[in-house]
Amino acid sequence: MIDIAIVGGGPAGLNAGLYAKRGGASVRLFEEMFTGGQIVKTHRVDNYLGFSDGPDGYTLGAAFEQHISKLGLEPDYTPVLKLELSDNRKVLTLPDGQVEAKTVILCMGASPRLLGAKGEDIYSGNGISYCATCDGAFYRDKTVAVIGGGDTAVSDAVYLSALCKKVYIIHRRDALRASELLQQSAFSKPNIEVVWNTTVEEFVGEQSLSGITLKDKLTGEIRTLNIDGAFVAVGIVPRTELIADQLALADDGSIETDKYMETSVKGVFAAGDIRNTPLRQVITACADGAVAASRALELC
Ligand SMILES: Cc1cc2nc3c(=O)[nH]c(=O)nc-3n(C[C@H](O)[C@H](O)[C@H](O)COP(=O)(O)OP(=O)(O)OC[C@H]3O[C@@H](n4cnc5c(N)ncnc54)[C@H](O)[C@@H]3O)c2cc1C
């Protein structure tokens, strides 16, 4: 039996790994794709203290991984398929067997929220993307729309404005929620146009996406905007599918924790975007991971 099992290799999981390893525990960290988590999807992280040059998310994630690797913690690149969590026993099922741990830190993060408009399922991956940094290059010199009005949407639009001929931001309100700096940056780009008070009714096309049907919320007018690609940035959903019936969840589906990041099951912790947190950022995810690991160490 190991002391601490960490599920997820994003900022929360990697920082939990750092603290757990430095605390002398036997630790395994499971990551199903690549370390760095969601941050790998962004081209610039401007708000992580100590990195004033605004590194891209991949570089920051790689720096995190290098740090834990120096301490001798190498992530296991494998998905955790099942979790059985009770006060007395914690078992993780992997593709090639099971691992039992005294404590578990859940850091599975979040995934993009779907818009829910008609046609989204048809054109997802075929004109609709949820990651501008990953897919923006496919739309060089083309016309795209970003749907949303928060930091991610506006940051995506700014990024895409350097690649694309024209970038529309489709926003359902009359003001953006993104930070002032990001808004200034977007408004200074001649090829970004915000379409206010407007919702996407349908994604349309033939073999691939060719347009979106828009509804003006003030006038009720319906029109089709021709675009080559759409980037949906309307929030995230905590990835609680493995534990939904085992732990107490908040109304928004995230995991409830106390101030030590402990969940409703003793010895099971949650850190980062997956938990009921007021701020979903790299710095808060890292901090949660540190708190969770410090407390887990006390139980080992
Ligand atoms: C486009 C974009 C831009 C952003 N820009 C910024 C920014 O500039 N500054 C900032 O501070 N924050 C930014 N954020 C937010 C930040 O990325 C997140 O708050 C942070 O990554 C949360 O970290 P986390 O470790 O909780 O979760 P995540 O980053 O979501 O990591 C979770 C990890 O768990 C893994 N995982 C999930 N399920 C399993 C399983 N069953 N088995 C194994 N592994 C699993 C996933 O593959 C993933 O790697 C941005 C997010 C996005 C999407």
Which is the closest atom of ligand 1 to the Cα of 236?
A: 53
CA distance 200 to 225: 10
Catalytic residue ranges: 131, 134-135
Q: How far is the CA of 280 from the centre of ligand 1 (A)?
A: 9
Yes or no: say if 103 and 3 are a contact pair by the CB < 8 Å rule. Answer: yes
**In angstroms, what is the span from residue 268 Cα to ligand 1's centroid?**
20
How confident is the model over 102-113, as pLDDT tens digits? Answer: 999 999 999 999
Q: Is the pLDDT of residue 43 over 90?
A: no
Nearest atom in ligand 1 to the alpha carbon of residue 11 is 25
The residue nearest atom 8 of ligand 1, judged by CA position, is 45
> 23 pLDDT exceeds 90?
yes
Nearest to 271 by CA among 246, 252, 291, 249: 291
47 band by pLDDT with thresholds 50, 70 and 90: confident
pLDDT at 278: 85
Same domain, 160 and 213: yes
Q: 């190991």: which residue's tokens?
A: 2
Q: Is the pLDDT confidence value at 244 over 90?
A: no
Domain boundary among 181, 206, 232: 232
Total of domains in the chain:
2
Coil, helix or strand at residue 296: helix
Nearest CA to ligand 1 atom 50: 39
86 Cα–ligand 1 center, Å:
26
Instruction: Report CA(274)–ligand 1 centroid distance (Å).
Output: 9
- Of the candidates 190, 205, 232, which is a domain's last residue? 232
129 and 107 both lie in a single domain: no
Q: Are residues 126 and 47 in the same domain?
A: no
- Compute, in angstroms, the gap from residue 271 CA to the centroid of ligand 1: 11
**Of 13-27, 44-58, 163-177, 234-248, minimum mean pLDDT range:** 44-58
User: Helix 151-161 crosses helix 180-187 at what angle (to 10 degrees)?
Assistant: 30
Give me the CATH number covering residue 6.
Answer: 3.50.50.60
| Same domain flag for 103 and 143 | no
Claim to verify: residue 127 and residue 193 sit in the same structural domain = yes
Which residue minimizes the CA distance to atom 2 of ligand 1? 42
Single out the residue in 203, 232, 261 at which a domain terminates.
232
In whole angstroms, what is the distance from residue 230 CA to residue 4 CA? 41
The reply to whether 179 and 253 lie within a common domain is no
On the question of pLDDT at 42 being above 90, the answer is no
Q: Within this chain, do residues 107 and 118 fall inside the same structural domain, yes or no?
A: no
Site to substitute for ligand 1 among 34, 38, 45, 131, most atoms within 8 A of C-beta: 38
- Looking at the fold, whether 223 and 249 belong to one and the same domain comes out as no
- Tell whether 8 and 99 lie within a shared domain: yes
Mutation pick for ligand 1 pocket among 14, 32, 39 (CB with most ligand atoms within 8 Å): 39
Domain with 287 in it: 2-111+237-299
What pLDDT, on the 0 to 100 scale, is given for residue 41? 81
Q: Are residues 156 and 100 in the same domain?
A: no
Tell me the HSE value of 224 on the side-chain side, using a 13 A CA sphere: 10
In this structure, are 133 and 241 located in the same domain? Answer: no
Q: What lines the ligand 1 site, CB under 6 Å? A: 7-13, 30-33, 37-39, 41-42, 45-48, 79-80, 107-110, 152, 239, 242, 272-274, 280-283, 285
Task: Clarify whether residues 214 and 256 are in a common domain.
Answer: no
pLDDT of residue 54: 86
